[in-house]
Chain A
């Protein structure tokens, strides 16, 4: 029993209480211990009420509860002082104010109760060289009193004023009449002197977040402003203020305040003997009864489910098990039964999960162990068949760990180990074989490389000497825009004659061209191409390319052609439908690298739609980006086929650039096709086998043409067996990509001109 509390109580109530206590608490050992102490100083209260005998009786009876140290269960939350932005509860002005406590008493009480670390708010009334004085207006935390009319002053010495960065006198920052929030540093209760500080360290921990120093009128605490209202009008009673404040209507203010005061809801205090909650048995609580009940209900379901299972009705059995597990998710029997059902049905992984869950809650469940071992072994067997030997081994070991005497697991483990050794041997042999193979492979690859290098050298020589331009002179094209050309062929021929420009020049020309073209075609609208149209566009291009090709078919370039054509399958399927096999192949040359192919495809796709209207802006942009890549690849790969081949390619590219002109192609289509078909089919036939697969894929892919050039291209290239030849062709192509683009532009311009005409 709390002696001090009792003493206080007794001094308040007097002797009679003591007597009652004696009688009521006679069995209480604690009381007897301290009763001697208490007997010494009970005093009579001045204005004792007569009918407090019942109260005293009550106190005496409940003294063992009231004064027991465990009764003080309230643990107030050490809350941080947060700005009163949202009122969680009604914040009231100090009670003193309502009570009209006398001036003197208030002052005495203030000095009795104020402590270091409390926060005061005051106004500066004088600034001296050793500090400034403030007149206190109200409390800012830690204490709630009405002090404004007490006209207390506090000193804030200069050492308690934090200095701002510059070396001025810190006091110069403050002026008369400033509102200051400060922490109480020192109290001289006897003389009634207060020292305050502006250092945050002077605050008590729960108030540490308050900003000290000058504050504005808006930052005055709510209880002060409410107090002002009360002081001004006499009709503002406590009740009114309370009920009109927003925080009072907050539905969760009870919860909040209980936390603030530290009263527990789960172990609520009561003075009734029968309601001492610590005496309640845990098993009587709702949650534990529910658990038991759920377990029993679930068990019933499991029994029904097992019946179903035994009679073969697996679906109903599963339903019952699931029902049981819904009611009681940790039910061991249900888990085991369900696991068994899974295992019988063949879902071994799910079965194992269920068994493991069951064993987690009940590690000694016999059936769970047994079933789990069996399932592990079975699963191990399956894994063995799938050649996942290591996993299988771990499963067997796990089964053995669970049950050392599990014969099957042991057998299986031994079998597995034999299997592992066999497979290891096999692997060694294979590895040895592969090493041999790789050597062979290397030698053939080396040979190929040598060949390629030679070819490169030859091409380089020829290219340097020739004056054929790989890229059309875009400046010439611009100059020729105005002139109506008789035919694209003538232009392409002229372009071929021009010398190869440096990559930088090409770039510049592209830029110029693109800007020019943009101005030409800016009026036209730009919209993305659907897959179908792009395909047709490519077909049309091919006609012209064939047409051109027929004119300048190089002699004895069979191998290179073959090579080139081999690279075509990489794109043909991606771009064309089945019927356009032969045409599609021609498309391959430009599209060597996946990235280029993508771009080119896109360019083509876009260009196709654009073409009827003749706008070239998008194409130019594509060309531009492709051109860059072309340059890069160009610089890296200088090996080329014969120059005539390059020309041929040029033509093809130019023809492909013509793709924007459907009308032309229609005319040339039949011519070109017949001419080309003969030469093409020779090589085509050889590659049909290759292509068979790709073409089939081409059809479905056609739809996604513009979007998925990349994956298709890469997929296609993988199909092609002859990697090295492809590689060489691919490297050749980028050099002339710029040509294509410029030629496309050229033809489009021509078309425009024709339209104008």
Chain B
């Protein structure tokens, strides 16, 4: 299982000041991930490929340096690669079009000239670079699957009317997607992320689930601790705070 190896509980980064964490790099990463997610929507990418693209990006820059590699190019290539991995193939032409327009708002579509071909070449080459940097480990277990199953189980234990009037599913899903602005996906196993997100969603709406010998969240994810849940949540909330600073 990929779990233990790739996830480092970066305890050092949790807690502490929000300001200290917002280094320039973090901000850049945040912006680029915002770029990935926004262009993902505009390209019609589904949640999982977008998550893969962000995960690829974060993993890449765990070992690579921002000084050497242009992050936006890496992001574009990550999207292209993620589309292939998750079987939602994207055309380089579309990626280039949307990204160009994102970076140069309101511009005309590119002409079929040398600049276009150069861009395309660089995207394709960077893709190979990412693959090599990640040792070709490009398929991940995402928290999305786990979250959906957890949601169903929680739905079963709730009163159906309470469920239908409380938008738990949407909130949890939104929180999970937003978590990709930061390297949470790299630091924590997918089950834990999913659970933390669900916990936060339920907590936000003040939904109380029945109490048993075991807590519901302990059931869903056997090896998680309350502390971990809270650290994930706090990291996630920091991302939201960062939005104000970065954009």
Chain A interface residues toward B at CB < 8 A: 2, 4-5, 8-13, 51-52, 54-55, 57-59, 61-62, 66, 71-74, 76, 89-90, 92, 94-96, 98-102, 105-106, 109, 112-113, 115, 143-145, 237-239, 242, 248, 251, 253-255, 257-258, 260-263, 265-266, 268-275, 277, 280, 284-287, 289-290, 292-293, 296-297, 300
Contacts and interface: CB of A to CB of B under 8 A. Distances in A.
Contacts of B177: 268-270
Contact of A94 (B109, B112, B157, B233): B157
A254 B219 contact: no
Contact of A257 (B42, B43, B148): B148
Contacts of A102: 212-213
Contact of A275 (B38, B152, B214, B237): B38
A266 B206 CA distance: 29
Contacts of B211: 99, 101, 105
A24 to B, nearest CB: 12
A254 B148 contact: yes
9 contacts: A55-B200, A100-B214, A239-B221, A248-B145, A251-B87, A262-B169, A272-B178, A272-B240, A293-B97
Contact of B97 (A98, A258, A290): A290
Given A92-B153, A100-B213, 13 more contacts: A5-B205, A8-B206, A52-B203, A59-B204, A92-B149, A95-B153, A95-B156, A102-B212, A112-B159, A253-B148, A274-B247, A275-B37, A290-B93
B243 A258 contact: no
Nearest to B244: A273
Contacts of A96: 157, 210, 212
Contact of A10 (B38, B181, B206): B206
Interface stretch (B57-65, B67-75, B127-135, B160-168): B160-168
Given A95-B154, A144-B156, A296-B111, A101 B34 contact: no
B169 A74 contact: yes
Contacts of B152: 89, 92, 257, 260-261
Contacts of A5: 165-166, 205
Nearest to B166: A5
B237 A55 contact: yes
B52 interface: no
Contact of A58 (B149, B169, B207, B240): B240
A199 B108 CA distance: 65
Tier of interface size on chain B: 35 or more
A201 B178 CA distance: 45
**Main DSSP-derived SS at the B contact region:** helix
B186 interface: no
B140 interface: no
A62 B171 CA distance: 11
Q: Which of B97, B181, B200, B237 has the most CB of A within 10 A?
A: B97
B215 A99 contact: yes
Contacts of A112: 159
Contact of B210 (A59, A66, A105, A289): A105
Contacts of B178: 270-272, 275
Nearest to A10: B206
A19 B211 CA distance: 29
Nearest to A223: B156
Contacts of A74: 167, 169-170
A55 B204 contact: yes
Contacts of A248: 145, 149
Nearest to B34: A274
Closest 8 CB pairs of A and B: A12-B206, A99-B212, A144-B156, A293-B109, A100-B213, A101-B212, A257-B148, A269-B174
Nearest to B38: A275
Contacts, number: 227
A47 B36 CA distance: 40
Contacts of A273: 243, 247
Given A284-B98, A290-B97, A11 B174 contact: no
A58 B237 contact: yes
A55 B203 contact: yes
A66 B216 CA distance: 23
Contacts of B160: 113, 115, 143
B222 to A, nearest CB: 5
A257 B149 contact: yes
Q: Which of A11, A12, A237, A286 has the most CB of B within 10 A?
A: A286
Contact of B149 (A90, A255, A289): A90
Nearest to A69: B167
Given A54-B234, A257-B148, A289-B109, A100 B173 contact: no
A289 B38 contact: no
Contact of B46 (A89, A98, A265): A265
A5 B173 CA distance: 19
Interface in B184-240: 191, 200, 203-208, 210-216, 219-222, 230, 233-234, 237, 240
Contacts of B48: 254
B149 A89 contact: yes
A280 B38 contact: yes
Contacts of B156: 94-95, 143-145
B30 to A, nearest CB: 10
B151 interface: yes
Interface in B30-47: 34, 37-38, 41-44, 46-47
B120 interface: no
A366 B111 CA distance: 28
A275 B54 CA distance: 15
Interface string B106-117: 001111100000
Nearest to A98: B219
A54 B237 contact: yes
Contacts of B44: 266, 285-287
Q: Which of B47, B160, B191, B205 has the most CB of A within 10 A?
A: B205
A92 B219 CA distance: 12
Nearest to B173: A263
B148 A258 contact: yes
A273 B214 CA distance: 37
Contacts of A71: 167, 170-171
B102 interface: yes
A268 B145 contact: no
A29 to B, nearest CB: 21
Given A100-B212, A277-B41, A293 B145 contact: no
A9 B168 CA distance: 13
A274 B149 contact: no
A415 to B, nearest CB: 50
Contacts of A105: 210-212
B101 interface: yes
B94 interface: yes
A89 B48 CA distance: 16
B29 interface: no
Contacts of B222: 237-239
B144 interface: yes
A71 B166 CA distance: 10
B109 A261 contact: no
B53 interface: no
A71 B112 CA distance: 42
Contacts of A261: 148, 151-152, 169
A59 B38 CA distance: 24
B47 A268 contact: yes
B132 to A, nearest CB: 26
A54 B38 CA distance: 27
A650 to B, nearest CB: 82
A261 B163 CA distance: 11
B145 A61 contact: no
Given A271-B174, A274-B243, A290 B94 contact: yes
Nearest to B243: A272
